[in-house]
Structure 1
Amino acid sequence: MRFVLLCLSLTLTATPSWSQEAIGLAAPAEVSDSGLLQHILPRFSLKTGIRVIADESGAMSLTTVPPGDPVFARDGVIYHLSIEDNPRQDRFREWLLSDIGKRTVESFAPQQGAAFSASLEIATTDEAPVLQGDTALGEELSMTHCGRCHVIGPKNRMNGLGSTPSFAVLRAMPDWSDRFQAFFALNPHPAFTQIDGVTTPFDPERPSPIHPVEMTVDDLEAILAFVSVISAADLGAPLQHQ
């Protein structure tokens, strides 16, 4: 009899407590519709006994811009988690940033679209001067010429290719200026890019495989000016271990 009571006591002690009210987590539609939350939230709750549910008016929120901790990314868009001053919410944040949380995110295989990545590395950038140029024109040219492959900003965040970095991620790289100034010489751009007076015309026998990107040096300077004023992506924080 004592053995049975002891086993019952140990079972009750090891079982997570579900008595506390659930914490709501608001997320963009593309995250909610992907099924990611249905994958990670029950696993966190089972591990900790803290219920977190998807809720548009939740106390915690996932957004595509800071503030908040960058927790995972998809298609070049980085999602940030914002929480209140609450120990249970902080526990969820710590779990999502831990090795276990990251593996849980990356183990999810969506039925449609690219997978989510939680392997965000730290990016440190030096302060760079704002380049002179027409930033408004630069944004327009970026959308026209580069937006078919790269995520330029919120306006086309759902249209970029998953295999190409967003402008915000490129801006976070220490050599971002060099990359943009010489982009036409970096693969795969030479195959379809022409800079008036700079690049060699296409060989008639080897035409551009896609509709060519054609611009002037002034156009490129405007794009550089635009990129110099956009916010660099925060690519992550050091892992926190419990």
Structure 2
Amino acid sequence: MFRKIILVVAFIAGPAWSENKSFDLQVPNILIESGFIKHLLPRFSLKTGIRITPVSESADAAFGAYGVAVFRQGEKIWHLEKVDGVYTDRFAQWLLSDIGKRTIEGFTQDGEPLFFADVGVALEAQIITITGDAGQGEVVSLKKCGRCHVINASNRMKAIGSTPSFALMRTFPDWKNRFEAFFTLNPHPAFTQVKEVTEPFSAKLPSPIVPIEVTLEEIEAIVAYVAGIVPASLGAPMQSQ
């Protein structure tokens, strides 16, 4: 009789366990220590059935300085950077939804909210100085970045689908910094050389693919070209049910 009960329980619970609706989220200590994460994540899980495990190392998603702005703490803007996926996408959409915003602002200490969903009030207009040649930037982008990224309609079917397009990256608040220093951001250091800037590849650790070689002038041109790209429309956030 006892064995039958175990089998029945395993049969009922098995599909739920195997689905494993979860992902890891890299969270800075300052957010952990504030108690905000213990307030935020369980409420998302209760609404969606998706479990999020906060970790200190690299993960499927991260709260930090990069990605989409999702909430602010005083004058500090917190962003969500993530890999594409059903559960990470749902989390990003939830944070930007009305219920997500109410949850963010529902966390208080001594009756006062510490986090706010209206990130716009803390963002100041920035004057971005562009000095490169945009025409040259398009040519260089297609030639040296187009094998992985969608640059424009001309290489839409030739790039790697899992890498973000230039139009998508143009939506990032820090897009200019990212493009200027792209060669320092993974996975680029493994196969990118910048003339008179980066060290040559080690003989023991050569580039795993045909390397990309660019100059600082070409990087400035790429930035000038990206500055003129219309940012991708990400659409309205999905409303949680």
Which category describes the TM-score, using the shorter chain as reference length? 0.3 to 0.5
Using the size of structure 2 for normalisation, the TM-score is: 0.47
The structure with more radius of gyration: 1
Using the size of structure 1 for normalisation, the TM-score is: 0.47
